[in-house]
Structure formats: structure tokens, C-alpha cells
Amino acid sequence: MTGSNIVWHHATVNRQRREQLNGHASVMLWFTGLSASGKSTLAHAVEEALFQKGCRTYVLDGDNIRHGLNSNLDFSPEGRVENLRRIGEVGKLMVDAGIITLAAFISPYQKERERVRSLFPHGDFIEIYCNAAFSVCEQRDPKGMYKKAREGLIKDFTGVSAPYETPVNPDLEIDTGAIPLAQCVDSVMGLLRHRGLIG
């Protein structure tokens, strides 16, 4: 809820000036996919490639965010919706700050991904679908989550006891279960160059 006495303050240092100082555009890169599909791995690898080019970057990682900002949220449908709402708002601020922001979240619902996209001007939100096969994700299972979900120890686990709605029209789809990481990074960097966001 917002009060009638709250007014947005317009600063003299704006996004355009920050981007000029940085020497590159800012954008939200949204990595979505099943648990263990490689979202965080790819996001951090892309960040490293961007950092090596002198870009200002930051990764908003699902697990890391739940240690602090969203530590009071559960994994129910309602909790997931609020989780993404907060991340969308944080990401919006970071893009305004001139930062290439990379968000790695399962974000299983199409409606909520579209809601986050709607926070950004056209072209400022790039949805990257990490489309690793379910069998590959379950086989990887680095945190043992699929096993626990199968045993009924974790409720509302995406892909097992909760749905994952496949992106309808992602900006980029990568088979992160079969394609080597370096090639996945090249695909993302190529898209950023194609759109004129980096040199």
C-alpha cells in the first residue's frame, strides 16, 4: 500500500547518465528453469564474462536472496509470488542504477514472470529459459532436493509436487543440460551484442 503523501523524488543523476559513465547499457537478464537446470551457474558465468569486459554487474540469486531480503517467505504459491514481486522491484532499481542485473530464479509461473517483465520498459527485461531436461535436473540434484521431494520431505517442490509453466516466448532458450557452459555463455553474450547492450 502507498500513501497519498508519498511522492517519487526525481534525482539529477539519472539512468542515462549512469549508463554513460559505465560505458554500457543496463538491463535485467532473467534466468528461469527447474531447480538444478543451471540458472545460477550460467548467470554467474555470464557475470564473469561481463565483468572481464569492464561492465558493472550483479547477480540476484534465488537461494542468496532467501537468506536475507526474502527470509520470511515460504515456497507456497503465495510465497513464490511475493518472492518474485520483491525481486522484480529490486531489479528495477538496480537497472535504474545502471547495472546489468542477472536474476536466477525458478519463477515457475508465466503470469508472475510477465508481471516482473511489465515493471521494465520494453527491451529492458530479457527472459532466458534454461531448458535442461527434467531427468538431467533430477540426476544432478546438487542439494538433494528432488530426492527429498520424492520422499515427501519437501512440499510444493517445482517439477515434483508443484508445476513449472514453460516460458511461452522467451528471449533466449538454451539447453543447459546438454550444451557446454562456455557455449551457453557465448549465446547470452551474443544476444547482448546483437541488441547493442554491450560492445
d(CA 70, CA 106): 15
d(CA 47, CA 50): 5
State the catalytic residue, choosing from 107, 135, 161, 187: 107
Residue type at 101 in one-letter notation: T
Residue ranges with strand state E in the chain? 27-32, 57-61, 100-104, 125-130, 172-174
d(CA 67, CA 63): 7
Q: CA geometry: angle at 165 spanning 194 and 26, to 5°? A: 30
Q: Hey, which residues does 172 pair with through a beta bridge? A: 128
d(CA 34, CA 187): 19
d(CA 162, CA 148): 14
Q: Does 135 participate in catalysis according to the annotation?
A: no
d(CA 181, CA 177): 9
Distance of CA 199 to the CA centre of its chain: 22
Strand pairing category for 172-174 and 100-104: unpaired
For the chain, the residue count is: 199
Q: Which residues are catalytic?
A: 107
